[in-house]
Chain A
Amino acid sequence: MLDVRKIREDFPILGRAIRGKPLVYLDNAATTQKPRQVIAAMTDFYEKHNANVHRGVHTLSDEATALMDAARGKTAQFVGAPKPETVIFTRNATEAINLVAHSWGRKFISAGDEIVLTEMEHHSNLVPWQMLAKEKGARLRFIPVTEDGRLDMAAAPALFTPKTKLLAFTAASNALGTLNPVPELIALAKSRGAKTLVDAAQWVPHYPTDVARWDCDFLAFSAHKMLGPTGLGVLYAKEELLESMDPFLGGGDMIERVFWEGFTPNVIPYKFEAGTPNIAGAAAFGAALDYLRGVGFSALREHEAALTKRALEIFAEFPSAAVYGPKDPAARGGIVSFNIDGVHPHDVGTAFDLEGVAIRAGHHCCQPLMSRMKVGGTARASFYLYNTLEEVEALGRALAKTAAFFRKPAGVR
């Protein structure tokens, strides 16, 4: 059991009032709030250790470099990466995926090759591949989504051909909450000789991750969705792949030697980290990983499952509310995506905000999926470790009030 009351004391923002009501923050799939330990790590860096990394021959630079190295080591350990240098720091998960499309895709994808995605990908794991496919004359294929928001695994094998070079898929859907069968998907791709990229932005913050056990080729996620700062993302890739790939951005740090006519690239991970990195962010992310490790994933999963179960019970009592995603609680994470009949998601979002309840409303950066589901968008509540059952009840009250307000015919409001 999580001591949620104690956890909440670590998050200063949770004491805020929104439009005169206590904040009920249920937009964790977009970004999570930060505990004071993370904020302190960032402040501590700027107050005591601020310097650039890898170049100053002075104490502060050594300290900054050590903090960056420590964060990389903690990150590698957190996801089961065999070596710290297989962890590349980027701006966010989006940039991590773009790095793969650019540095691996442009080198190893040719005309006629195929990339398999799923119909539930976030735009960040769709658009980079569209750009690559257009440039190279490659083809994208999509594992379909079933009526209840799961991947149609029966249809998946037929999408792989001898030309399939990559399977890129989300481990957990940001729009539906679906948890995908990651080992099964990776095994399928490997049996067909395709590389695998796991978009784990919604997975790593909530469930144990072990890239060595999954044996995926690439894995991308963002620090800010797991108590860490914005502006820091992670790409894990197998060492031999990183060695074979071309650099990403050009500039300082990514080079070994530079001549007028060219350069030789630095060793990994620096080959992919041009320019001054987010040093303070990395230091703060280290503190976020320590915090999550202290909480423990089994307690976190139990807590999120209890919140989600109660939320689904509340929604089930509202005939005018439709909930998307798997019916089976075991197949879904702490995300409840819904619509109130006849009410636009943005009107739902604003009405909830007036109750202090922060949720996401819209297409969730999944426009093709929304079309597939024949909805313009949805409203989405997403939970994390500091949310309480009382907050789920507040969600229910906002739901009741919103449904009642917009359902009334003109003249009797």
Chain B
Amino acid sequence: MEGDAELRDLYQEALLDYYQSGAHKGKIPASDFYSHGINPVCGDELEITMKKDGAGAIGQIRYAGHGCVISQASSAIMAEALEGKSVKDALSLVAAFKDMMLSKAAPESLPGDLEAAKALEGVRRFPTRIKCATLAWNTVAQGLAARGQAEFKEGS
């Protein structure tokens, strides 16, 4: 259909797949980490739970909440990238992703662990939607900052 190209450019196949896959969706009972985020633009809420592994790294991560394609797909991409990472590495991935979304860094300069996040680059042309893409990442960063990161030790 005419004009579909622009829609496909923003809502890339990979994004819609993440949105529909349901991977990493849900809530971990008795989690080691819980953080709650709200997108002020739409009021959508997101809950992130994590369980640490034996080394103190992020063993398991889940996201829960109702949201748009962009926020849900971004949550799934983030969960995939952060699982198995130390807190320190997770925070640097969050920072790298945000730099890309805020156009401080080019998508090409994203670390290899964030390859899938390149599918979100089209969102940068829609300023009101950037908050949808960064919601999950901000929720993790704020949650980690709030607990001083001490309880969730870096992998050694």
**Taking beta carbons and an 8 Å cutoff, which residues of A are in contact with B?**
19, 21, 344-347, 350-351, 353-355, 361-363, 367, 370, 376-377, 401, 404-406, 409-411, 413
Contact = CB atoms under 8 A, between A and B. Distances in A.
B60 to A, nearest CB: 25
Contact of B43 (A353, A355, A363, A410): A363
B16 interface: yes
B13 to A, nearest CB: 6
Contacts of B68: 344-347
A370 B45 CA distance: 14
A98 B44 CA distance: 27
B66 interface: yes
Nearest to B16: A410
A404 B16 CA distance: 14
B124 to A, nearest CB: 13
B42 interface: yes
B4 interface: yes
A377 B42 contact: yes
A401 B44 CA distance: 25
Nearest to B17: A410
Contacts of A350: 10, 126, 129
Interface in B110-133: 126, 129, 132
A346 B42 contact: yes
Contacts, number: 61
Contact of A401 (B1, B41, B43, B66): B1
Contacts of B70: 346-347
Contacts of B67: 344
Given A345-B42, A376-B44, A413-B13, A404 B129 contact: no
Nearest to A21: B3
Contacts of A401: 1, 3-4, 7
A346 B10 contact: no
18 contacts: A345-B42, A345-B68, A346-B41, A346-B129, A347-B68, A347-B69, A350-B126, A351-B7, A354-B10, A355-B3, A361-B42, A363-B43, A370-B43, A401-B3, A401-B7, A406-B69, A411-B13, A413-B8
A179 B3 CA distance: 37
Interface residues of B, number: 24
B20 interface: yes
A376 B3 contact: no
A362 B69 CA distance: 14
Nearest to B66: A376
Contacts of A376: 42-44, 66
B11 A405 contact: yes
B44 A405 contact: no
A354 B43 contact: no
Contacts of B108: none
Nearest to A355: B3
Interface in B1-51: 1, 3-4, 6-8, 10-11, 13, 16-17, 20, 41-44
B132 to A, nearest CB: 7
A367 to B, nearest CB: 6
A267 to B, nearest CB: 42
A129 to B, nearest CB: 20
Contacts of A344: 66-69
Contacts of A411: 13
| Those 4 A-B pairs whose CB atoms lie nearest each other, nearest first | A344-B68, A346-B68, A354-B6, A362-B42
Contacts of B69: 344, 347, 406
A350 B131 CA distance: 14
Contacts of B129: 346, 350
A413 B12 CA distance: 10
A354 B129 CA distance: 13
A277 B68 CA distance: 41
Given A344-B67, A353-B126, 9 more contacts: A19-B6, A344-B69, A346-B68, A350-B10, A405-B7, A410-B16, A410-B17, A411-B13, A413-B13
Contacts of B3: 21, 354-355, 401
Most buried by B among A19, A346, A350, A409: A346
B122 to A, nearest CB: 10
Contacts of A409: 20
Contacts of A351: 7
Contacts of B66: 344, 376
Given A347-B70, A405-B4, A362 B43 contact: yes
Nearest to A345: B42
A351 to B, nearest CB: 6
B11 A367 contact: no
A21 to B, nearest CB: 8
